[in-house]
Structure 1
Amino acid sequence: MASVLGNLENMVVLGVVIGLFVFLRGLIRNYDGSSLRKSWPLVGMMLPLLFQLHRFHEWCTEMLEANNRNVLFRGPWSSNMNGLLTGDPSNIHYIMTSNFSNFPQGRDFKEFFDVLGDGIFNSDSDMWKTQRKLAHQLMSHPLFHKLVVKSTHEKVEKGLIPVLEHVWEQGLVVDLQDLFQRFTFDATCLTVIGHDPGCLSISFPEVVFCRAVDDAQKAIFYRHVLPQAIWKLQKWLNVGQEKILKRSTETSDRIISEIISAKKEKVCKTMGNNTGLEDDNGQGIDLIASYIMEDAIVMGCKSSDDKFLRDTVLSLLVAGRETTSSALSWFFWLVSRNPHVEKKIIDELRATLQHDPDQADHTGKCRLLNVEVLKRLPYLHGAICESLRLYPPLPFNHKSPLKTDRLPSGHHVIPKMKIYISVYSIGRMSSIWGSDCLEFKPERWITVGGGIKHQPSHKFFAFGAGPRSCLGKNIAFLQVKAVAAAIIYNYKVQLVAGQTITPSISINLHMKHGMKVKLFKRSAS
């Protein structure tokens, strides 16, 4: 009898969800978009959200700018989507730093990002502290830093430059975003798993893993904007974006399983002669080999446990590839549209090399800057920060409080209530950055004395803030500077006319249609 009643209850819920979905579709067809914030019966603010989905981040910015940086969002009836949309730096500092313990990732976050398992981005409490401590210990090791510098330089020299030379010599049009995704995937694989998959080559091979990750990210984004009942129904029925997510997860899991198996076998053969991060040549080894060799205890299991390694590999590969490639893509789009910024970057590069010509490497007819030069380029650093302000790779975040709390903005928040942080909007509001907030001005990051001007992380949120701030920040800056300097110093990047550059609907801020460019060799003078 109980099972019959349970099935009947499930059928009723299913009928309500389907009816709500049909109702929403009917409303959308007749909605003129005249009100950004109007809350409708039964569906709340879901209607304007779906209507504005194609420009989701701009819509959030407009609402926040018009409502003192905070907007209470009403979801459909019984959808558990009610929450607070905020772009308020004081709220962000409170949530991410001063009262961090009351705002963990939470069950909802882990459910949205279940594909990442129990990796560092999903974990909380003691599990997160243990993973964070271990990751920080390994990533801050001098030998790992040496490996990052070496692999980045070699990937620019032997991967990026040959492809750029081929594109220039043949007069080809190239998708620069695709090029950067290939570069960052190869570079991340080298530091995480110690293997170069060779995605960055003139043959432009298909990258199955990357396509699977892109599909998964799009599906996860839709989980954030659809009522939970709808996407869970799709998951149960194995249809729509949830079907795509399942297929992409199976693909990435298969590839990662092969990587882990090969890595374990290799490490087991060499562990008798090595300890810690050092390899036979003293060059340092990759992170996953380090986890296995250190045999660290995580989640009550050894780090050589396959599930832990799977979750760690996927989290690190996604974080390294997605964020850095996004940063490079938007940086070059902004620079190409602001020739005065490009000229200042070139002048800085030439002046630096003129004073110290030995601090450069020659690759054929191209010149590469080594890490010491990259540290002495404040204007380039400022231009990268400015690009990250306008186009943060991770455009939004969300939290839920453990206990009832009151934010600095005066809003009361309760357990299970979602707090949506619009990272994209924070960098685009005049109330935070001034009336010129939409201008690309690297100068806002330069001090009177010519140094780098610091901005608090709750205002410049591209790398997060507080205890969960990005561990790979320095690696990201090194890679972006190395690629940016190599390209700008040697080539003129020209956007192909007629294309539309717009953010994709995804949890990472990619360009929806890529970025087609042509390259022209720059004179040495």
Structure 2
Amino acid sequence: MYLLLQQIPIFSATFLISITTLSLFFIYLIVRREFGFGFGFWLGKKRYHPVGGTILNQLLNFNRLHDYITDLARKHRTYRLITHNPFKDEVYTSDPRNVEHMLKTKFDNYGKGWYNHSMLKDLLGDGIFTVDGEKWLEQRKASSHEFSGKALRDTSGTVFKRNAVKLANIVLEASSSDQPLDIQDLFMKSTLDSIFKVAFGVELDSMCSSTEEGAQFSHAFDDASALIAWRYVDVLWKTKKFLNIGLEAKLKEHIKVVDDFVYKVIHRKIQQMQDHRMESKKEDILSRFLQLSKTDPKYLRDIILNFVMAGKDTTATTLSWFFYMLCKHPHVQETVAEEISDIISLKPDETIQEFGARLCEEALDKMHNLHSALTETLRLYPPVPVDPKLCLADDTFPDGYQVKKGDVVAYLPYAMGRMKGIWGDDAEEFKPERWLDENGRFQQQSPFKFTAFQAGPRICLGKEFAYRQMKILSAVLLRFFIFKLSDEKKPVKYRTMINLHINGGLHIHAFRRYNKKST
């Protein structure tokens, strides 16, 4: 510092003011870190949640971000992180009372807001996951109409069964040659094929790699999602985007691949509807939105990508963690497989296609062990591990602490699933039976405690849609195969992105299941 001052001919007032301001700022940060209060404390007016760390801590722990957040949540159910803006904080809560306050009681005060929209808009645009107000309400109403209709249930069931059979045949080929599989990759392709057919009327067939464009789209979408998540800890992302350098340059490339593919789908659908304008039937969700938006391609692009995020990634990641849990807990795998065979009586030499055709809603509804095991997986590995909102006006949480207008406030599904105060001393154990009553039937828990599908006005419209797809895929695979990890000693970790993907995929071996009842 002495050598630096020697090089300054005149120790200007501006320099003194800058040094003084910077020093006061660091003193302020230290005080907040040590004592957990802000300027309001000195006036004796407000109480703020304790400080857990800074945005720098998140950056340093990015590869294990959700476990780092969980570690902090064990110390403080609700805490703040200091950001680069001294007047705004990030507040993280795993308290069900606060979650209900945000998602239901004071729903209008906690929206996506400009902060989340600015982070997500390059990938998800003005879709249902990024907007508030009239834009959100319009999409919510249109989507709700579709998801509540019998036509979608019937169509989706047929598509799910067809793709489950296709996936099972790929597994059969691998098991016959004793080849390992990346089951997460297969789930991603299967759910992508399903959402494109059900929602957009497009036969993608990425499982059989009949379209290279589909595979390129899927990979680009996943990589873009990971880079979008990085923005939340990178305070320089806007500068990098402006200069088109580093990860922001890569993100731009991935989004171009995504956009090229999606706009091609949109233009093809528009042409189909123009060619059949006399037909009033709206056979898929995209057709309905086409009529609502008067063929605005940008609006439709955003709709499609939000549905892909909801219908592909969330379901595929849950299935991946589910099969990981089944491999780690073979007794649960056998319990679920036995339930499937008990409910759907097995026939000798029945083919995969024949079994798939016999799967029906009534049979799926009886599979309480399968439903509880999937739900237990969602508790520990929620597809959206952190859900941030923006506080729109000063507020007081049920725990008695204040949050300020402009604060980012996030609830923590991943951390909440590991909280002993919420789930008991066995919170970190995989125990599907916690979801069964004394009669062995599935029982719901509070959505403010089990937050995998959100709650309140924004509760997931596709909840039953997702369960139906996961149960069909699981039932077909577990009827015919036993699954084991390819390498029991290799650690399985998540990739930090918007959704909770398994990093590097899930590599397993499948073995034919020869059930005694079928011989």
CA apart distance, 1:190: 0.5
Cα distance between partner residues in 1 of 2:492 and 2:300: 37
Cα pair 1:39 1:74 within 8 Å, conserved? no
Shift of 1:80: 6.7
Find the aligned partners of 2:318 and 2:176 in 1 and give their Cα distance.
Answer: 27
- Work out the percentage of aligned pairs sharing the same amino acid: 30
Match of 1:141 in 2: 149
SS of 1:458 mapped into structure 2: coil
1:224 and 1:216 map into 2 onto residues whose CA distance is 14
CA distance in 1, matches of 2:371, 2:119: 34
Preserved CA contact (<8 Å) 2:161 2:356: no
Query: Greater shift after overlay, 163-172 or 439-448?
Result: 163-172
Query: 1:49 corresponds to which residue?
Result: 58
Task: Using the TM superposition, give the Cα deviation of residue 162 of structure 1 relative to its aligned residue in structure 2, in angstroms.
Answer: 1.9
Q: TM-score, normalised by structure 1?
A: 0.85
* Shift in alpha-carbon separation, 1:517–1:365, aligned structure 2, 3 A: farther
Q: Tell me, yes or no, if the aligned pair for 2:205 and 2:211 is still in contact at 8 Å.
A: no
Shift in Å, 1:367: 5.8
In the TM superposition, 1:75-224 aligns within 5 A as 75-76=83-84, 78=85, 82-114=89-121, 115-157=123-165, 159-201=166-208, 207-224=215-232
Supply the distance in 2 between the matched residues of 1:459 and 1:276 (Cα, whole angstroms). Answer: 40
Q: CA deviation at 1:486?
A: 1.0
Deviation of 1:366 after TM superposition, in Å, equals 6.1
Structure 2 residue aligned with 1:517:
508
Unpaired segments ≥5 residues, structure 1: 1-11, 21-36, 278-284, 297-301
Residue 492 of structure 1 aligns with which residue?
A: 482
Amino acid of the residue matched to residue 118 of structure 1?
Answer: D
Query: Secondary structure of the equivalent of 1:517?
Result: strand
The structure having more radius of gyration, on CA atoms, is 2
Q: Render the CA deviation track for 1:45-95: whole Å, top value 9, x for unaligned.
A: 23332332221111111111112x11121123x377622111111000000
1:408-456 deviations in whole A, cap 9, x for unaligned? Answer: 1122111111112211001111010000001111111111122211111
Q: 1:146 to 1:433 in 2, by over 3 A?
A: same
The one-letter code sitting in structure 2 at the alignment partner of 1:513 is G
Partner of 1:454: 444
Indicate the SS of the match to 1:148: helix
Q: 2 CA distance for matches of 1:319 and 1:395?
A: 14
Residue 493 of structure 1: SS of its match in structure 2? strand
After the TM superposition, which residues 103-502 of structure 1 pair with which residues of structure 2 at under 5 Å, given as runs? 103-114=110-121, 115-157=123-165, 159-201=166-208, 207-227=215-235, 230-272=236-278, 274-277=279-282, 285-292=283-290, 295-296=291-292, 302-354=293-345, 362-363=351-352, 369-497=359-487, 498-502=489-493
Contact 1:153 1:370 in 2 (8 A): no
1:88-126 deviation line (CA, Å, top 9, x unaligned): 110000000111011111111111111211111112112
Indicate the larger mover: 447-456 or 432-441: 447-456
Aligned pair in 2 of structure 1 residues 275, 202: CA closer, same or farther (>3 Å)? Answer: closer
- Cα pair distance change 1:81/1:335, threshold 3 Å: farther
* 1:202 to partner: Cα distance: 7.4
How far off is 1:203 after superposition?
7.9
Secondary structure of the residue that 2:344 maps to in structure 1?
Answer: helix
Q: Is the CA contact 2:184–2:505 (under 8 Å) kept in the aligned structure 1?
A: yes
Q: Which residue is equivalent to 1:6? A: none
CA contact (8 A) 2:189 2:207 kept: yes
2-structure distance, mates of 1:436, 1:143: 42
Structure 2 residue corresponding to 1:63, chosen from 61, 72, 76: 72
Question: Distance in 2 between the 1:146 and 1:275 partners?
Answer: 19
Q: Could you tell me whether the CA contact under 8 Å between 1:501 and 1:512 is conserved in 2? A: yes
Which amino acid counterpart does residue 173 of structure 1 have in structure 2?
P
8 A contact 1:361–1:367 mirrored in 2: no
CA distances 1:264-303 after superposition (whole Å, capped 9, x unpaired): 111111221x2243xxxxxxx22112322xx22xxxxx34
Q: CA deviation at 1:204?
A: 9.8
- State the alpha-carbon separation in 2 of the partners of residues 263 and 55 from structure 1: 41
CA distance in 2, matches of 1:438, 1:120: 32
- State the SS of the aligned residue for 1:518: strand
Are the equivalent residues in 1 in contact too, given 2:83–2:89 (CA < 8 A)? yes
1:184-231 C-alpha deviation (Å, 9 max, x unpaired): 11011111111121111278967111111111111111111122xx11
| CA distance in structure 1 between the partners assigned to 2:59 and 2:106 by the alignment | 33
How many residue pairs were aligned? 467
Q: Is this contact kept in 1: 2:112–2:131, CA < 8 A?
A: yes
Query: In structure 2, what is the Cα distance between the partners aligned to 1:231 and 1:315?
Result: 22
Contact kept in structure 1, 2:379 and 2:452, CA below 8 Å: yes
What is the rounded CA distance, in whole Å, between the counterparts of 1:511 and 1:171 in structure 2?
Answer: 23
How far apart are residue 361 of structure 1 and its match? 7.7
Partner Cα distance (2:294, 2:404) in 1: 36
Asked if structure 2 preserves the Cα contact closer than 8 Å seen for 1:445 and 1:452, the reply is: yes
Q: 1:329 to 1:79 in 2, by over 3 A?
A: farther
Provide the secondary structure at the position in 1 that maps to 2:482.
strand
3-state DSSP of counterpart to 1:207? helix
Q: Distance in 1 between matches of 2:366 and 2:437?
A: 14
Maintained 8 Å contact 1:39/1:45 = no
2:40 maps to none
Q: Is the 8 A contact 1:500 1:513 kept in 2?
A: no
- Structure 2 letter corresponding to 1:459: K
How far apart in 1 are the matches of 2:323 and 2:407? 38
| Cα deviation, residue 324, structure 1 | 0.4
Question: Is the CA contact (8 Å cut-off) linking 1:38 and 1:48 kept in structure 2?
Answer: no
| 1:113 alignment partner, SS class | helix
Q: Kindly indicate whether the alpha-carbon contact (under 8 Å) linking 2:377 and 2:430 is maintained by their aligned counterparts in 1.
A: yes
CA RMSD of aligned residues (A): 2.4
Write the deviation string for residues 457-479 of structure 1: whole angstroms up to 9, x where unpaired: 11111011111111111111011
In 2, Cα distance between equivalents of 1:407 and 1:151: 44
Offset at 1:165?
Answer: 1.5
